[in-house]
Amino acid sequence: MLTRIYKEDKDVLKEYLMSRTQDLSTDVLVTVSNIIQDVKNNKDEACLKYTREFDHVLLDTMEVTKEELDIQISKCDKDFVEAMKLAKQNIEDFHKLQRQNGYLLQKEMGIYLGQRVLPLEAVGIYVPGGRAQYPSSVLMNALPAKIAGVKNVVMVTPPDSEGTIHPNIAYAARLAGVDKIYKIGGAQAIAALAYGTQTIDRVDKIVGPGNIFVAAAKKLVYGTVDIDMIAGPSEILVVADENANPEYVAADLLSQAEHDPMASAILLTTSEDLLNSVNQQLSKQSAILPKKEIVEQSLKNYGKAIVCDSLEDCISISNEIAPEHLELMISNPMEYLQEVKNAGSVFLGYYTCESIGDYFGGTNHVLPTSGTARFSSALSVDSFIKKSSYLYYSKQAIEAYAKYIETIASEERLQAHANAAKVREK
């Protein structure tokens, strides 16, 4: 059941949703900091020690060999393989259009200046292990990096109880073109990627989700390397009109509620009848879900609904919340798309469930959470590039413009700067 609130309380709702973000406690940060320092000092030895301690697996080496990969991939279901191949094509089709080109600007007296777009050299992808396995996340993280031109895409993932990796993760890595795979998880994996070990080379950026220890490690190594984000619990907001199918609305809300007890599912609608029908459907559908307890806890704590006077009001409130996933389950969604200012990804119409974007449609599912869609973007090819400018002045040009450079530098009391231009006037 969704708890109905009133639009006058929307600010309370925003604060309530923001409170879901897990604080990285001092104890967690100290523990993770110690692990990072140990990996910096002792490298492979520390990584293997923590794998024994936390994953209860004794490994001789962390690297996944081609032979091991082949064996795991051979266990994959053929229908899964077919679905992943189609998903890969859709993801590539969408992300290839994000590639950027540099530019050259030519001016008077032999001046030219421009910008180059350069791929990062090496990127590390963290893939969670344990009971969950998310091969779709391998595609979503690795394919944009490959399209950007990253030469070395490295994947780290915790080993299972048998000391290997899940077959579906193995297949996804090969399909996406991952260059090397290592059986290591947790904060120690993040430290290994950030600082390097005898086996694992350091990278320039680390992407991918993980538990609170992984999040803390990413936070602590940021600056030594870049990271994608510190993601919060998943969230969905559905804007629905009176013609929306309550069965569809409920199913989509539940698709996020099953992620985590802290996941949020929000419905903004113009129809009180629809809200009542959705609540009936939520009870009916959640009763048969394998993760029923998680769903019920999520909906109890963070399942909310507001009945608004108009679709414009719905979208205005949505913009203030800035949800990770926004569904416009209305009859004419394209007419309202331009009104959406803050959302990680938008799903249009009655038939575009959020799970299309999670797995198959082609848009990226690594999205800003906890209101950060106000200022940040989905993972993309842009996440794996850097931009570098260049500039050329001829002798004639510096002689013509040196006095202006000297004037500004002198006003800033940086005489050596001024002199660097002045000596070239001769």
Which of the four pLDDT bands, split at 50, 70 and 90, describes residue 22?
low
The pLDDT score that the predictor gives to residue 242 is 97
Residue 220 near residue 28, CB atoms below 8 Å: no
Report the percentage of the chain scoring pLDDT > 70: 99
**Known catalytic residue at 365:** no
For 249, the enclosing helix (H) or strand (E) is helix 246-257
The pLDDT score that the predictor gives to residue 130 is 66
Please provide the size of the chain in residues.
Answer: 426
CB-neighbour burial class of residue 264 (10 A; exposed 0-12, middle 13-18, buried 19+): buried
Residues of the binding site for NAD(+):
126, 188, 211
Which of the four pLDDT bands, split at 50, 70 and 90, describes residue 14?
confident
Dist CA 244 CA 274 (whole Å): 8
204-208, 257-261, 334-338, 385-389, range with the lowest pLDDT: 257-261
In angstroms, what CA-CA distances link 108 with 146, 404, 426?
39, 16, 20
Amino acid identity at 189? A
**Is the alpha carbon torsion for 211, 207, 56, 292 positive or negative?**
positive
The pLDDT score that the predictor gives to residue 8 is 79
| Tens-place pLDDT, residues 33-72 | 999 999 999 999 999 999 999 999 999 999 999 999 999 9
DSSP state of 53: I
| Tens-place pLDDT, residues 68-113 | 999 999 999 999 999 999 999 999 999 999 999 999 999 999 999 9
What is the residue-wise DSSP string for 100-160?
---EEEE-GGG-EEEEEEEE-SEEEEE---TT---HHHHHHHHHHHHHHT-SEEEEEE---
Catalytic residue among 235, 258, 296, 324: 324
**Known catalytic residue at 272:** no
Catalytic residue among 95, 166, 325, 365: 325
Domains of the chain, start order: 3-21+232-361 (3.40.50.1980), 26-227 (3.40.50.1980), 395-425 (no CATH)
| Tens-place pLDDT, residues 332-390 | 999 999 999 999 999 999 999 999 999 999 999 999 999 999 999 999 999 999 999 99
What value does the mean pLDDT of the chain take? Answer: 95
Which of the four pLDDT bands, split at 50, 70 and 90, describes residue 407?
very high
Which residue would you say has higher pLDDT here, 19 or 313? 313
Residue 178 near residue 153, CB atoms below 8 Å: yes
The pLDDT score that the predictor gives to residue 12 is 78
The SS3 assignment for 175 reads helix
Output the six-digit token pair for 299.
């909906």
pTM of this structure: 0.94
Residues of the binding site:
126, 188, 211, 234, 256, 259, 325, 358, 412, 417
Which of the four pLDDT bands, split at 50, 70 and 90, describes residue 174?
very high
18, pLDDT greater than 80: no
Amino acid identity at 266? I
Dist CA 267 CA 278 (whole Å): 9
pLDDT (mean) for 291-305: 95
Beta strands in 158-240 (DSSP E): 180-183, 205-207, 226-227, 235-240
Which of the four pLDDT bands, split at 50, 70 and 90, describes residue 163?
very high
User: Residues 6 or more apart from 290 whose CB is under 8 A from it?
Assistant: none
132, pLDDT greater than 90: no
Dist CA 303 CA 263 (whole Å): 9
Residues of the binding site for Zn(2+):
256, 259, 358, 417
Residue 26 near residue 148, CB atoms below 8 Å: no
Output the six-digit token pair for 284.
């009916």
